[in-house]
C-alpha cells in the first residue's frame, strides 16, 4: 500500500476519533449533573480501575499499555470538564475568586509603595525591592514573620521576600509563612546574587576565624568557608552580618554579604564572588494581603497535599498534561508528624483567567487532600 493511501486511512480514522472524543466530552455535563444529584464525588477510583482493567484485557497485548494510557488521559480530561461544569455557577469557586482579583489592563504594577523587607539597609531584599519598585518606601523588620505581619496588618502595602535560591533551594520558612498568613504573590523577580567576603579595613584573609551571614548565604558559599576553616555564625540577614562586622573591633571576623554593604558600612572586600556557583540566583516575591492579579500575569504558584495513596502525584501531573499547562517547578517536603506524607510546591505557566487555568483551579478538590493558591503573577528576569 502506498504511503498516501495509508495516510488517507489514518486521516479518516482520526476524523472518527475526533467526533467520538467530542461526543464523550459532551457527556461530561450529563455525568456532572447526575453526580451532583446523587452527591457523588467526581473521582470514582473503583470505577476507573474497573474500566482500565477491562480496556487492558480487551486490547491486543502489544497495545495494552498504550490503550490504558490513552483512556486514563481521556478520563482525566473528562473529570476536569465535570469539575468545571460543577463550579461554573459558583461565585466562591477558586477560579471565580481568581478572576475577581484580575485588575484592569490600565492598572500597571505600582512604581512606588510602602514595602516591608527583612534585615537592614543593604540587604538583598532591599536591592530586589528597588528593582521591583522604582521608588519604594522601605520599612525593615528583623524576621520574615515580621514582614508578613506588617503586610497582613496593613502597615505596609507589600512585602519583598526571598523564596528560592538556585544553589541552596527553597527558603522553607517563607513557604510555611505563606501558607500560614494566606497572603498572595503579586510579582516575582529573579536576581543574580554575587556574595563578597567583607572585613574591616586592614584585616588579612588568612587571619579570618569566624564568618557571619544568613544560613542561605552560608550554604551558597560553603567552599570558601571550608577552605578557610572558619567558624560559622548564622545571622538573620546578610546585611545585618555586615553591620555586625563593621561594629566589631575584631580583625579575625568577616561577613558574607553584598558589594553595596561594603560601601554602606565602610568594609573592605577580602575575597570577591565567593559563592560556590557563578550562576547563583535568588527568586524574590512580592506579597500582598489582598489578592491582586496584574495585567500580563502568567505564572501560578500552588502548595498541595496529596492523598497518601499510589498514583496521587501522577494524577496531579496528568491533569497538567491534559490541560496543556507547563510545570516550571516541583518540590516536595515531608509533613512533620506524618510518616511518608509530603507537601508539594508547584509553579506553573498559564495565563491568568485562561480556560486551562480556571479548569485546573476548580478541579484541585478532585485530586488533592488540601491546597493553597498563592496567586498568579509576572516574573521579572
- pLDDT of residue 126 exceeding 80, the answer is yes
Q: Which residue has the higher pLDDT, 316 or 310?
A: 316
- pLDDT of residue 318 exceeding 80, the answer is yes
Rounded CA separation 136/177 (Å): 23
- pLDDT of residue 104 exceeding 90, the answer is yes
- pLDDT of residue 336 exceeding 80, the answer is no
- State the total domains in the chain: 4
85 and 1 fall within a common domain: yes
Residue 296 to residues 34, 186, 328: CA-CA distances in angstroms? 38, 11, 18
203 and 132 fall within a common domain: no
42 and 81 fall within a common domain: yes
Q: Which residue has the higher pLDDT, 143 or 307?
A: 143
pTM of the model: 0.85
- pLDDT of residue 296 exceeding 80, the answer is yes
Candidate list 43, 109, 144, 284, residue with the active-site label: 284
Residue-range definition of the domain harbouring residue 97: 93-103+295-381
Closest to 175 (Cα-Cα) out of 370, 345, 380: 345
Instruction: Give 345's Cβ-side CA count (13 Å radius).
Output: 20
The CATH number covering residue 180 comes to 3.40.190.10
Q: Phi then psi for 178, rounded to 5 degrees?
A: -60, -45
Element (H, E) at 313: helix 312-323
Q: Tell me: the pLDDT tens digits for 266-275?
A: 999 999 999 9
Whether residue 31 is contained in a domain is answered as yes
pLDDT score for 37: 84
Whether residue 63 is contained in a domain is answered as yes
Whether residue 109 is contained in a domain is answered as no
- pLDDT of residue 338 exceeding 90, the answer is no
The CATH number covering residue 25 comes to 1.20.59.10
Candidate list 76, 235, 282, 376, residue with the active-site label: 282
Instruction: Identify the domain boundary among 260, 288, 316.
Output: 288
- Active site annotation includes 282: yes
Whether residue 81 is contained in a domain is answered as yes
Whether residue 276 is contained in a domain is answered as no
189 and 222 fall within a common domain: no
Whether residue 77 is contained in a domain is answered as yes
- Active site annotation includes 376: no
246 and 300 fall within a common domain: no
184 and 128 fall within a common domain: yes
Closest to 284 (Cα-Cα) out of 138, 96, 130: 130
Q: What average pLDDT does the structure give for the chain?
A: 92
- H helix runs in 59-209, sequence order: 64-87, 94-100, 124-132, 144-153, 172-181
Q: Report the share of the chain in percent with pLDDT over 70.
A: 100
Whether residue 159 is contained in a domain is answered as yes
pLDDT score for 255: 97
82 and 17 fall within a common domain: yes
- pLDDT of residue 87 exceeding 90, the answer is no
pLDDT score for 98: 93
Instruction: Identify the domain boundary among 33, 56, 89.
Output: 89
- pLDDT of residue 59 exceeding 90, the answer is yes
Reported as a pLDDT band with limits 50, 70 and 90, residue 42 is: confident
C-alpha cell at 365: 478538590
261 and 308 fall within a common domain: no
Q: Tell me: the pLDDT tens digits for 245-262?
A: 999 989 999 999 999 999
Amino acid at each position: 500500500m502506498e504511503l498516501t493511501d495509508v495516510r488517507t486511512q489514518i486521516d479518516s480514522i482520526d476524523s472518527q476519533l475526533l467526533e467520538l472524543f467530542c461526543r464523550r466530552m459532551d457527556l461530561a455535563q450529563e455525568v456532572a449533573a447526575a453526580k451532583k444529584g446523587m452527591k457523588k464525588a467526581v473521582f470514582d477510583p473503583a470505577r476507573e480501575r474497573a474500566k482500565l482493567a477491562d480496556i487492558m484485557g480487551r486490547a491486543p497485548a502489544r497495545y495494552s499499555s498504550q490503550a490504558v494510557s490513552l483512556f486514563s488521559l481521556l478520563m482525566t480530561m473528562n473529570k476536569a470538564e465535570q469539575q468545571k461544569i460543577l463550579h461554573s455557577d459558583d461565585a466562591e469557586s477558586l477560579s471565580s475568586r481568581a478572576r475577581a482579583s484580575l485588575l484592569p489592563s490600565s492598572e500597571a504594577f505600582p512604581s512606588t509603595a510602602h514595602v516591608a523587607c527583612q534585615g537592614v539597609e543593604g540587604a538583598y531584599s532591599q536591592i530586589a525591592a528597588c528593582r521591583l519598585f522604582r521608588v519604594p518606601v522601605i520599612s525593615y523588620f528583623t524576621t520574615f514573620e515580621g514582614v508578613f505581619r506588617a503586610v497582613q496588618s496593613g502597615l505596609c502595602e507589600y512585602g519583598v521576600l526571598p523564596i528560592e535560591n538556585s544553589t541552596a533551594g527553597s527558603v522553607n520558612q517563607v513557604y510555611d509563612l505563606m501558607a500560614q498568613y494566606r497572603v498572595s504573590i503579586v510579582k516575582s523577580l529573579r536576581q543574580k546574587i554575587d556574595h563578597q567576603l567583607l572585613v574591616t579595613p586592614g584585616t588579612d584573609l588568612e587571619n579570618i576565624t569566624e564568618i557571619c551571614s544568613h544560613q542561605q548565604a552560608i550554604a551558597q558559599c560553603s567552599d570558601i568557608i571550608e577552605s578557610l576553616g572558619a567558624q560559622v555564625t548564622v545571622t538573620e540577614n546578610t546585611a545585618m552580618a555586615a553591620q555586625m562586622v563593621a561594629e566589631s573591633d575584631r580583625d579575625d571576623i568577616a561577613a558574607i554579604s553584598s558589594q553595596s554593604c561594603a560601601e554602606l558600612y565602610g568594609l573592605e572586600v577580602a575575597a570577591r564572588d565567593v559563592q560556590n556557583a557563578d550562576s547563583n540566583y535568588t527568586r524574590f516575591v512580592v506579597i500582598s494581603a489582598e489578592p491582586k492579579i496584574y495585567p500580563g500575569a502568567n505564572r501560578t504558584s500552588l502548595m498541595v497535599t496529596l492523598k497518601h495513596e499510589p498514583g496521587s502525584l501522577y494524577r496531579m501531573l496528568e491533569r497538567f498534561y491534559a490541560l496543556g499547562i507547563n510545570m516550571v517547578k516541583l518540590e516536595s517536603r515531608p509533613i512533620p508528624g506524618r510518616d511518608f506524607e509530603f507537601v508539594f510546591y508547584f509553579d506553573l505557566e498559564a495565563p491568568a483567567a485562561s480556560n486551562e487555568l480556571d479548569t485546573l483551579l476548580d478541579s484541585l478538590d478532585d485530586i488533592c487532600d488540601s491546597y493553597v493558591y498563592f496567586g498568579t503573577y509576572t516574573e521579572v528576569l
